[in-house]
Amino acid sequence: VGGVYAYGGTGGQASLTLSAKVQIAAQQAMGDYKGTIAVFNYKTGELLCAVTTPNYDPDNVPDILGDTTGAYRGAYVNRFTQSTYTPGSIFKIVTAAAALEHIPDIMEQTFTCRSVQEYGIDKVTCEQWHGTLTFREAFSRSCNCAFAQIADQLGGETLERYAKQFGVLQSIQFDGLSTAKGSMDASNAAAVQVAWSAIGQHKDQINPCAYMSFVGAIASDGISVQPHLVSKIEVGGKSTYEAECEKGKRIMSSATAEILQEMLRSTVQNYYGDDSFPGLNVCAKSGTAEVGGDLKPNAMFTGFVADEEYPLAFIVAIENGGYGRQTCVPVLAPVLTACKEVLDGQ
């Protein structure tokens, strides 16, 4: 608002990076879900889409405070920038990156999963008996027991240090906005709690915008790119502001980023299926985050497109949506298709 205001009756005009076509596709895809979906260009930082639901028409504001159905609960919260979520298995990207940076022989190791990893009277459970897995297989199959064993090698303090290095616990500032901070409590936690933290549970919380930026850095060979929403501002026909791509620091080695790219791509090819994303080389990880009580898990999905023509990183968070892949892929697919069409000039 401050950037477009001017004295003397001369108004300003702000141009946003958002695509109306993609925003509409995202709004329709989210339907009655509560949560957020966002996509940005990991080369330029431009946000093509940042939808948070539920929302409302500002030209026809409903009686939000008097609503008794729950349809508008949280309508005033921007879930993309101001919310945090238990990440579930999408946090295994962080743990895998930490392992690649810290454990020299991690790629040569194998892990045994018998569906339960014992910690005295406590345990970490896995949905399946996976047997013996390589590091790559443990990631693609999202094996909790294998990642618990990786967490044992890392330790809580090291895991939390890498999470901070990767930026997933930090607030991001852009266009006058400051996102919510992520959090975790692994440094002084018991071994079983560190194990649960390594698989995105325990006390882990991530902000969708910050996590999308982290995933975008993986696509950019380990160098983060600052997202932005405002493209330019003109006042009285003169440009007073024009966005520039703000590359951040290197958060991981290019070798680590390359291996993560390959593993995320393999997960889509071998487990999620390329047929949901025609014409795009999608690299991604799903998450099903338990939130306690009788509530359904949060459905999470994040990743990027490994194409020069379509440098897109994304995140989907659907509150109480159930399984990550099952819920999020049908929401994400039409949004990525709309992004592709926009970048193709359609």
Q: Are 328 and 316 in contact (CB under 8 A)?
A: yes
What pLDDT, on the 0 to 100 scale, is given for residue 235? 80
User: What tokens appear for 339 in the block?
Assistant: 């992004």
Annotate 88-99 with DSSP letters as a single string.
GGGGHHHHHHHH
pLDDT value at 342 more than 90: yes
Alpha carbon distances (Å) from 134 to 111, 146, 302, 317, 336: 6, 9, 23, 29, 31
Q: Please give the pLDDT value at position 187.
A: 92
Q: pLDDT band at 64, cuts 50/70/90?
A: confident
pLDDT tens, 181-237? 999 999 999 999 999 999 999 999 999 999 999 999 999 999 999 999 999 988 877
**Mean pLDDT for all residues in the chain:** 92
How many Å apart are CA 227 and CA 247, to the nearest integer?
Answer: 9
CA nearest neighbour of 305 among 40, 34, 14, 4: 40
Q: What is the pLDDT of residue 263?
A: 98
Question: What share of the chain in percent tops pLDDT 70?
Answer: 97
Look up residue 88 and give its two tokens: 């579930």
256-260 contacts, C-beta under 8 A, 24 or more apart: 256/97, 256/100, 256/101, 256/222, 257/217, 257/218, 257/219, 257/220, 257/221, 257/222, 258/221, 259/100, 259/107, 260/93, 260/96, 260/97, 260/100, 260/218
The span from the CA of 342 to the CA of 256, in Å, is 31
Q: What is the pLDDT at residue 13?
A: 83
Cβ-in-10-Å burial (0-12, 13-18, 19+) of 27 comes to middle
Phi/psi at 151 (5° precision):
-60, -35
Evaluate if residue 85 carries a pLDDT over 80. Answer: yes
- Predicted confidence band at 9 (pLDDT cuts at 50, 70, 90)? low
Q: How confident is the model at residue 62 (pLDDT cuts 50, 70, 90)?
A: confident
Question: In this predicted model, what pLDDT tens digit does every residue of 267-290 receive, in sequence order?
Answer: 999 999 999 999 999 999 999 999
pLDDT, average across residues 91-100 = 98
Local confidence band at 5 (pLDDT 50, 70, 90 cut-offs): low
| Residue 1 confidence (pLDDT) above 60 | no
Nearest to 114 by CA among 148, 88, 155: 148
- pLDDT value at 165 more than 90: yes
- pLDDT > 90 fraction of the chain, expressed in percent and rounded: 77
pLDDT (0 to 100) of residue 2: 52
Beta strands in the chain (DSSP E): 12-16, 35-41, 47-53, 110-113, 116-119, 122-125, 131-134, 173-174, 177-178, 223-225, 230-235, 238-242, 247-250, 282-289, 298-305, 312-318
pLDDT score of 8:
60
- Angle between helix 92-102 and helix 156-165 axes, rounded to 10 deg: 100
pTM score, two decimals? 0.94
Q: CB–CB of 180/207 below 8 Å?
A: yes
312's tokens: 């897109």
For 117-127, what is the mean pLDDT? 91
Alpha helices in 171-236 (DSSP H): 191-198, 208-219
pLDDT, mean of residues 327-346: 95
Angle at 106 between CA 104 and CA 109, to 5 degrees: 130
Which DSSP string do the residues of 242-292 spell out, in sequence order? E----EEEE-S-HHHHHHHHHHHHHHIIIII-GGGSTT--EEEEEEEE--S
The answer to whether residues 69 and 76 touch, using CB atoms and an 8 Å cutoff, is no
Q: Which residue has the higher pLDDT, 89 or 235?
A: 89
Cβ neighbours for 222, distance < 8 A, ≥ 6 positions apart: 250, 251, 252, 253, 254, 256, 257
pLDDT higher than 60, residue 44:
yes
